[in-house]
Chains A and B, each alone.
Chain A
């Protein structure tokens, strides 16, 4: 026997396969086929944790996905899983689990004192109490999070891996209960490609929990036969341990499949995988979730769902307790009473809210000698750490009060049933509405926006016969709609119909005093939300369920309120004076239905596969040279090349001085390059650039500014005329794809008449830039067909020829302010040329430099970087480039520049900043103020956009955007930092060679 509550026979467990496990350090034994919850119950464990807010003792409440209380931390270390529902953890040998939210354990919990103060912590308590003083919130939050918390996330990398599968099918059936199996059978027989997904480890759905018959034999025999037929079919796939977690547009469904041998181990395969299924038709057979009655102290360990108690007895051969009372408003709970009785468990009483329960099941129960107390209510539950007994009183006609003398009944479990809620979650994800059935008090799937059908309990059909019929019908219809029309003459399965009477709807079961006075009526046990909390929210003006939900946190715990949401809506409705929950409206269900691990969502897109890395032809050389890397978009660019034990500061200073004093070499391959050809190429440039392109002659280069239609700088770069109908555009490295898309968008959507093609050639050309006073000397050793003299090859021109015997385009442009040649060769030659230049340049002191040095040098020249000096609110004039704005033509963004706001004198303008202390390097993003005052709020007049130490100037310097900055040259401004205030002088943004003598040398 595996545990004292194990029934001597029955169940779908393998009694020979004994599994050892531990809970809170206590070693126990369960069976193959157990869940952690059933194994705990078999071993007599009643207390599994403490509640979220009040730290009340809690036990196992349900048997499936709806479990609000029995959350555990599964295993430890890198594979640990927090907040796992014990009802959904399949038991395995060696399992270790711990309670969450209690210390040192669920038996003695230090924070249990919270319960004594319950009157002080109503709904919205945290919002109300910790609002003041607002800066102290982080301090409060620290302690609140500690006191009211759930499990802990793993702090080490996940050792397992995860997969993603893409699948298409004609019919996707979600749920393998009787309706789902029937639907899958019918669709398969019609010749459709079918996927059947179910979250349990074996098909059968609720039949696994019941003692029911199909075709006169135990229902599970029919399930086995159905499964065998489906497995045998060529185009049908059955996925078990697979939960449909989200239903998205155009019949796209996300499923998560658990594959590893255990929940926490991937074994030899992927631990979980996500199925991305596109289905022509969907059948939702997702079943129903039982709803508990809401009565006084309905959270005591031992208070459970009636259907769950039945499931434990029938499926797991475990009795929830030795004396089980039932409390119901409907006939279904009598099945539990009858099944328990048959299993030899004592059932002292069934308390029925109804006056005269006369259906088949109550009649049978009475015939079996079960004490049925009619028209009565449970008014109290004794036993804080586990049910010891209950008190029962007569319910009045209106259901809002109790009368008479309380009858005490001793029992260890009280199982309640308030009816079953169709699981309309996926229907709701798909955009479908839920409609309220007033007679039965349930939400049913209403109109659907997608090609889907709900069947069985998910559609409010609770009788077995109806489930089978509906499933077969929907499966056939779905297959037909998907184009599969084979006829089948198979005899449909049959089941006996049990006549069930209507339930008595009563959202809150009254007790002797006012609700919440001496006891608590819990709606959401996982988040400790009571009836009184929702009523308080209504009194405080929360009239929409969406607002009340967020205020009280009803339904926002890991279980998403699967057992309490509808009662919560009813309570809010009653408090607002509307008739039924249908008028309050449902909260919209959103994916995921059950939590999905981040690992599964990431799949294989982790580590090196997370994002593609783009490398230049010289990547390996940079690596060997010890380059530190900077990520620019997806590109890896050398940031700087430190020599042994050299700091970044020292390396950058060395590189800067080498460029300014001798010659530096830069891998500029990442520069975006777009080849533009066609008779209308020039027209296109004229329209997308703010400056004029009419007169740019072949072999000449021009700097251009690209604006959005709002007049703000979008990108900049140098474009060269190769021929009248052929141009070569360069863009910012990280912006290349966006610029190409921008050109294409305008060409295709607005200017289709232009004859011009744009082609990305970024990767076709390697760009090696040599710059510095010795650049010409070095290059002259490599070319005979290009005259490098300043007159023959002036600044802002391009020459085609050979460099080192390779075909090349050499651009005399400069981003560093020095004499500079950008040598473009076909990418395959670039590494070859690079090493040749390095070898020949040794005598000139050639120094490779990275992006950091490039930034220092360009900033010394006051050259902007789009995206650093500009932020989407910056016009050409703001950065002092009014000269690049043509007055004679229209171009994208021109009209916006004349808007009054873009004409203001106090717009933020580009300036230079020189800290008074030359050793000071301002932080980029630092805010700038006029006064040295410390009274808050301090008026900000701008911010630092680029800031470096300049070895050339021998001091720190910065570029900044400052309100009315051009009129402030010479003024002293302040940058308040955490520990000090730095004073700096406003200057021109050009710090080096303002007349461009070096550039033109």
Chain B
């Protein structure tokens, strides 16, 4: 069971939170312009990466605020938490960039 640092409340047990799937998936501005495949891609296709993963969490039984978490899905280490609408912190971004290069 994780300990999650809610950006608004501090460290709390995982049972207070709810995971909301992959982060940074933006709802298409004009869904009508999308083909069925593109829409299905937005709707259903998610990463299932081993290692660094950016995901959304909500402090369901606390402040009810959504935020982003950078987690290593292998070790379950939480590398960063950051607010909705923000980009991942630089250290995490660098890790992603390094991964893309490989």
Contacts and interface: CB of A to CB of B under 8 A. Distances in A.
Interface stretch (A96-104, A632-640, A747-755, A993-1001): A747-755
Contacts of A752: 84-85
B36 A900 contact: yes
A249 B2 contact: yes
A899 interface: yes
A750 B27 contact: yes
A741 B32 CA distance: 26
B84 A749 contact: yes
Name B's interface SS: loop
B1 A249 contact: yes
Nearest to B33: A895
A744 B59 CA distance: 12
B31 interface: yes
Interface size range of chain A in the complex: 20 to 34
Contact of B66 (A278, A450, A749, A894): A749
Interface in B76-99: 76-77, 84-85
B46 interface: no
Interface in B1-34: 1-3, 20, 26-28, 30-32, 34
A278 B3 contact: yes
A250 interface: yes
B49 to A, nearest CB: 17
Contacts of A900: 36
Given A741-B64, A744-B64, A895-B32, 13 more contacts: A249-B2, A252-B1, A278-B3, A431-B74, A449-B74, A450-B75, A709-B27, A744-B58, A745-B20, A745-B66, A749-B84, A890-B31, A899-B39
A710 B3 contact: no
A431 B76 CA distance: 10
Nearest to B56: A749
Interface of B: 1-3, 20, 26-28, 30-32, 34, 36, 39-40, 43, 56, 58, 60, 64-66, 74-77, 84-85
Contacts of B43: 709-710, 896
24 contacts: A248-B1, A249-B2, A249-B76, A250-B1, A250-B2, A250-B3, A252-B3, A449-B75, A449-B76, A709-B43, A710-B43, A744-B58, A745-B20, A745-B58, A745-B66, A749-B66, A749-B84, A890-B30, A890-B31, A895-B28, A895-B31, A896-B43, A899-B39, A900-B36
Interface in A229-253: 248-250, 252
B50 to A, nearest CB: 13
Contacts of B20: 745, 749
Nearest to B1: A252
Contacts of B31: 890, 894-895
Given A709-B43, A741-B60, A899 B3 contact: no
Contacts of B34: 895
Nearest to B66: A748
Interface in A735-761: 741, 744-745, 748-750, 752
List 10 A-B pairs, minimum CB-CB distance, nearest first: A895-B31, A748-B66, A449-B75, A249-B76, A252-B1, A250-B3, A895-B39, A250-B2, A749-B66, A750-B27
Nearest to B31: A895
Nearest to A450: B75
Contacts of A709: 27, 43
Contacts of B30: 890
Most buried by B among A252, A749, A752, A894: A749
Contacts of B77: 449
B13 to A, nearest CB: 8
